[in-house]
Amino acid sequence: MRIGISCYATLGGSGAVATELGKALAARGHEVHFIVSGIPFRLGLYQENIFIHEVETASYPVLHSSPVDLALAAKMADVIKHYDLQILHVHYAMPYAVCAFLAREMLYNHPVRIVTTLHGTDITVLAEDPLLRRLIRLGIERSDLVTAVSNSLIEQTIELFGPRQSMIKISNFVDLQLYKRSTKNEWRKRFSPNGEKVLMHISNFRPVKRVSDVLKTFFKVRETLPAKLILIGEGPDLDAAWRLSEEMGMARDIHFLGKRDEVVALLSAADLLLLPSEKESFGLVALEAMACGVPVIGSLAGGIPEVVEHGKTGLLSPIGDVDDMAKNARALLTNDRLWSAYSRAARARAAQFSASEIVAGYERLYECLIESSQCLEEAEKGSA
């Protein structure tokens, strides 16, 4: 198949999933075209069957800002026409689903089918703006197929929009051959030279990630247990996290690593992943951590409970309850037998989100769309 994929290139779950999906489809022999405003952060080195089409915009004095979204729609139309794409799979309703709709309108009767995957904040945050809500609804309802990464997100979308378009749940996935715990790990020696416990947080440091709760939880753990905190990623709350670590007197026990490619090696150095988000449609980083045998200390937000089994692969607390999160972290970190049981269960749970099975599911849906839409009715029933 000839498939276009459009997503955010920056650090975040939606871009990560879109990129990994494209790479997996290309490895299966499909022709994959990324239509993006920058090289996706997980794309890596050259891979056969993958093509990159970057959107370029010009500045015009009459316009207050560069028309990036319109340029993206035009680029989508150009790639669809030139390469005769059969599927355009966009990740994130705004702006990508709307741009995909505009692109197809430009081409009149081109048979390209539009698939939109909802990832979370495109629904839970952007929809708070009444004007954007209308555009998001348009993008959803003009798609041929809409998928969402969790039941929680589907419920929120129905509550906010009541869309005429039905939705199918397709979970995020993890490559179990790549994401597995490494016992020989130089990062562990660096972070824990004296046997300290290692807690880790990976995110785009946006307010919904509640990075301050990460630091407060760590502070309480560190009061009774030698520990280190590893923070990976960048974003608007990074500077505030720096300042808070200094104010709380923890700076020497916290490592700020910024964006990193060696995620598997870093996760393999961790004892726990901290994920105290207030909004989280799925929690891809939790799944990747569990694949590496890392239990999760997190919040009862959104789709996290659909991924992390409370009391088995991790421990979940009400949003903002750092006392409970710290108590849960200490319970696992001070009991090696209990931690090992959670670690094994986490890996087993991650196997239920195997990349090979979920990517194959996407292939079947694409084929249904290309051939006819009748078989989608069965898929929708199966996802209910």
Residue with tokens 């089994």: 309
The full length of the chain comes to 384
180 within domain boundaries: no
Q: State pTM to two decimals.
A: 0.90
DSSP H helices in the chain: 13-27, 68-83, 98-106, 121-124, 130-141, 151-161, 186-191, 211-222, 238-247, 263-267, 284-291, 304-307, 322-333, 336-350, 355-371, 376-383
Tokens of 229: 């905190």
Same domain, 112 and 133: yes
Q: Could you tell me the CATH number of the domain that includes residue 271? A: 3.40.50.2000
164 within domain boundaries: yes
CA gyration radius, the chain: 21
Same domain, 290 and 304: yes
33-to-30, 84, 119, 238 alpha-carbon distances in Å: 10, 11, 20, 33
Same domain, 14 and 125: yes
Distance of CA 47 to the CA centre of its chain: 22
The CA-to-CA distance between both ends of the chain, in Å, stands at: 27
9 within domain boundaries: yes
Parallel/antiparallel/unpaired status of strands 314-317 and 87-91? unpaired
Same domain, 344 and 366: no
Tokens of 206: 């946006």
32 within domain boundaries: yes
181 within domain boundaries: no
Same domain, 223 and 113: no
Parallel/antiparallel/unpaired status of strands 87-91 and 113-118? parallel
Same domain, 234 and 112: no
Instruction: Please state whether the peptide bond connecting residue 95 to the residue before it is cis, i.e. omega within 30 degrees of 0.
Output: yes
- The set of residues, in sequence order, having a beta carbon less than 8 Å from that of 192 and lying 6+ positions away, is 198, 228, 269
What pLDDT does 356 receive? 93
Same domain, 59 and 101: yes
What pLDDT does 384 receive? 46
In sign, the C-alpha dihedral spanning 298, 302, 304, 310 is positive
What pLDDT does 383 receive? 54
Same domain, 321 and 347: yes
Q: Report d(CA 370, CA 368) in Å as an integer.
A: 6
Domain count, the chain: 2
**What is the enclosing helix (H) or strand (E) of 31?**
strand 31-36
- Residue 200 lies in domain: 186-353
Same domain, 254 and 108: no
Same domain, 267 and 370: no
179 within domain boundaries: no
Same domain, 223 and 342: yes
CB 139 within 8 A of CB 94: yes
Which residue ranges in the chain fall short of pLDDT 50? Answer: 384
What pLDDT does 379 receive? 58
Q: Report d(CA 30, CA 27) in Å as an integer.
A: 7
Question: Which among 32, 40, 34, 33 is positioned nearest to 8, based on CA atoms?
Answer: 40
Same domain, 145 and 74: yes
